[in-house]
Amino acid sequence: MSTETTTTTSTAGSTAKRWGSQIAQIAAIVGIVFLGKGALAEPFYVPSASMEPTLLIGDALLATKFPYGYSTASLPIHVAFPETGRVFASTPKRGDVVVFRWPGDRSQVWVKRVIGLPGDHVELRGGQVWINGKATAVQADGIGAAEDDSGGSEPAQRYVETLPGGVAHPIFKLRNNGRLDNTPDVTVPPGHLFVMGDNRDNSADSRVPVSQGGVGLLPMDNLVGRVDAIVGSWDLGVRSQPVANWWSGLRFARFFTGVH
């Protein structure tokens, strides 16, 4: 064999090794990111006004995966695996803000607040939540602005609702005698949750069956994680302005704030 042939073969082998090493490194990085998003935490984006005033359109959320255990819903991409239940399962606390896969289409990820736990009786009377025969405490908290995804807004009555157990959080009421202000008493079955949006007149939640575009009683197997923080926020209303002004839509005061 000639020296030229030996050198060419050696160079090709070195190149193949370098490419193999780089591919292995990229695969390792992808694997670590996938594992982290599947097991630890994952970012999500708020596209709707259903959780105002707690969450605004344009908020970027960080949902931690481990508080409730893991199921196929925990995967960072939707894969139509058969349901196998949850491992290391834990029931959410009343008042937690949770991310979950919508029962009507598990490729969609929604966010709501846990109001009723398994075994609870939940109903609404005149817009006020009743849990196990007792009304939640509600205190007026002035007027807020309920935004929409085009940047418009309308006045909303703001209240602070305190759930059994002591979790207090703000809610919006856009109108009195809304279509979801009075609901029948519902017993939350085992393995399910009653969830609601904080924007009470603009949320298709457990008050609305899945067949009508709501959540219905949410299976805990659909849980993705608990929302613990807002990591960034951008006001979509600035999209109608020149691109040079879009930076003004950054809501720096909401960056890296907790969600309660």
Q: Which residues are catalytic?
A: 50, 112
Question: Which DSSP string do the residues of 15-41 spell out, in sequence order?
Answer: HHHHHHHHHHHHHHHHHHHHHHHHHTE
Strands 97-101 and 223-233: antiparallel
User: Residue 58 contacts by C-beta under 8 Å, 6 or more apart in sequence?
Assistant: 45, 46, 233, 234, 235, 236, 249, 251
- Token pair for 95: 């008042």
Give CA–CA dist 92/258, Å, rounded: 17
Helix boundaries (H) for the chain? 3-39
Give φ, ψ of 55 to 5 degrees: -120, 135
Give CA–CA dist 206/49, Å, rounded: 16
DSSP state of 234: B
Cβ-count burial 232-250 (b if 16+ within 10 Å, e if not): bbbbbbbeeeeeeeeeebe
